[in-house]
Structure 1
Amino acid sequence: MSNQEVSASGIPIYRHEAKEREIDFAAGDEQAIARITAHVEQHIGPVANVFHEIVSDLVHIDILFVPPTPQRNYHTLVTCGMSNRPMTVPEGAENFRFAELMLCLPPSWPMSEEAFRNEEHYWPVRMLKMLARLPHEYGTWLYHAHTIPNGDPAEPYARNTKLAGMLVELPTIVDDLHAFFTLNMEPDKDVHFFSLIPLYAEEMDLKLSKGTEALRVKLDQAGVNEVVQLDRKNVAKKKLFGLF
């Protein structure tokens, strides 16, 4: 369950409260995995590996991995399994009950099993799994323009970055957004693919105080998208002498 507040800009703030329960073991849906994998390969590129989940609670979340290409020079990670259950959406948003998430990493990012033993390399995968499970665990939803801090208060994901939250956005790395964004799985089940944009705590505060559009303008001006930049400019911080 979640408690709702409202920010200075009128944006709803949800604070999720954990509840004690037994683990609800979940298995993967082979047909859904095949459909989502084919969709990713059609619009992004060949899936070279799948980071499988061994024990799953509520939904079985795998991560599809598409390596860099000359055209898309970054690693692409896409969740597969978040859409196995519907999210709890507000009235009027029933068409957005099913979603998957995507994040990209620079080509130099270590992607081996050995590298993932280091949290500084593994945190994007951990974060994708956590956010894909969050709506089902707390009876909520993720949608365009939602921000999710890493804790309350927000803390950096790892020691190698000060990034501390995510903005849910429409993908920017695909050639045909309309075709990629929606995958019709069944007559009454459309799965929507959202990108995640890593944010600093101050940028999430800017959104809450000034609104989503104010943050989006600054991110666009700085060329920020779903490709992780560990030490990029913080667009919510002023430079010396009060200049942006």
Structure 2
Amino acid sequence: MPIQFRCAVCSKNFKVDEKHVGRKTICKGCGTMFLVPQPGEPTSIVIPSEVDLKPLVPTLPAEPPKRVIDRDGRLFAAISSHVEKHIGSITRIFRDYVSEKNQVDILWVKPTPVVPFHTLVTCGMAEAPMPVPPEAEDRAYAEMLLCLPQNWPIDDGALANEAIYWPLRWMKHIARLPQEKKTYIAKSHVLPNGVPTRPFHTSTPMSAWMFIPPPFESAELKRTAVGERTVHFIGMQALHMNELRFFYQHGYAETLRRLQAEFPARTLHSMRRPSFLTPG
């Protein structure tokens, strides 16, 4: 017999079979974990254990052999033009010459007095639509956006070091996920690194991504038209493990509010910043 209830954080409606009462589930609207309630009872939010924090993919895939394939020229032209109009002149394009399919380039805009941090934007993720649910059909096309602090070295010599390159590797990995794993990426989703969840690299305490709006004031930056497609830009925010637990307990909106209240942009984009849950 089906039962109906609402998420205690975002009020999203659910309808499930009664046999699922007492089981853990995650709200697709805000990412909060809770127990399926008895009919008529409120939902109970739970703090997930390590085994609950399952990523979409536990480890990064190995890079396939080098091979150049054709790109959608319209997409590249539109994304490049949009980035230069709303962020700044593209300093360099990191071409993806290694992927046999799901090819993803990264556009780099170096820091400026107006935008005092590195901005990296994928180009290639939106060549195919993500398998979104019916209520998100207008967000089937997306590209990822990541900001790194001004002192992050971005050049061939530095990027040969995995301690520097890992954020770019993750950008490509996430951009390929929708086609490789038949899933979709959207604002308010999170992606932990492995089970048990662990830091992305020994040089950083960060161990998960939360997907947010691009951290820029311009509302026009958030999307652009490419032919009949509307491409949305999704920001990547790195989280500490305890911030990830806070997310599951309190939801996306409160986690984002705490991050933005605690850290200015220059600090928020650092991969070595403290957690907002760290005393003092």
1:176 aligned residue: 218
Q: How many residues align?
A: 230
Residue 13 of structure 1 and its aligned partner are, at CA, apart by 7.5
The RMSD of aligned alpha carbons is: 2.6
Name the counterpart of 1:36: 79
Amino acid at match of 1:80: C
CA apart distance, 1:92: 1.5
| Partner deviation per Cα, 1:164-207 (whole Å, 9 max, x = no partner) | 1111111122x422x111111123x1100111111111111111
Residues of 1 paired with 2:272 and 2:55: CA distance? 28
Counterpart CA distance in 1 for 2:193 and 2:54 is 13
Alignment pair present for 1:212 and 2:252: yes
Give the Cα–Cα distance (whole angstroms) in 2 for the partners of residues 107 and 15 of structure 1: 29
Question: What is the 5 A alignment of 1:1-244?
Answer: 5-6=25-26, 7-8=33-34, 9=45, 16=56, 27-173=70-216, 175-177=217-219, 179-187=220-228, 189-223=229-263, 228-237=269-278, 239=279
Rg comparison, structure with higher value: 2
Q: Partners of 1:29 and 1:154 in 2: how far apart?
A: 36
Structure 2: segments with no counterpart, 5+ residues = 1-23, 27-32, 35-44, 59-63
Shift of 1:221: 1.7
Aligned-pair CA distance for 1:14: 6.7
The answer to whether the 8 A contact 1:58-1:136 is kept is no
CA distance in 2, matches of 1:139, 1:50: 27
Structure 1, unaligned runs of 5 or more: none
Counterparts of 1:89 and 1:224, CA distance in 2: 33
Q: 2:135 aligns to what SS in structure 1?
A: coil
Equivalent AA in structure 2 for residue 210 of structure 1: H
Taking the aligned partners of 2:54 and 2:223, their CA distance within structure 1 comes to: 26
**Matches of 2:247 and 2:104, distance apart in 1:** 29
Structure 2 CA distance for partners of 1:151 and 1:28, relative to 1, 3 Å: farther
Q: Distance in 1 between matches of 2:155 and 2:191?
A: 27
Q: 1:132 to 1:225 in 2, by over 3 A?
A: farther
Instruction: State the 1:121 CA deviation.
Output: 0.6
Name the TM-score, length of structure 2 as normaliser.
Answer: 0.75
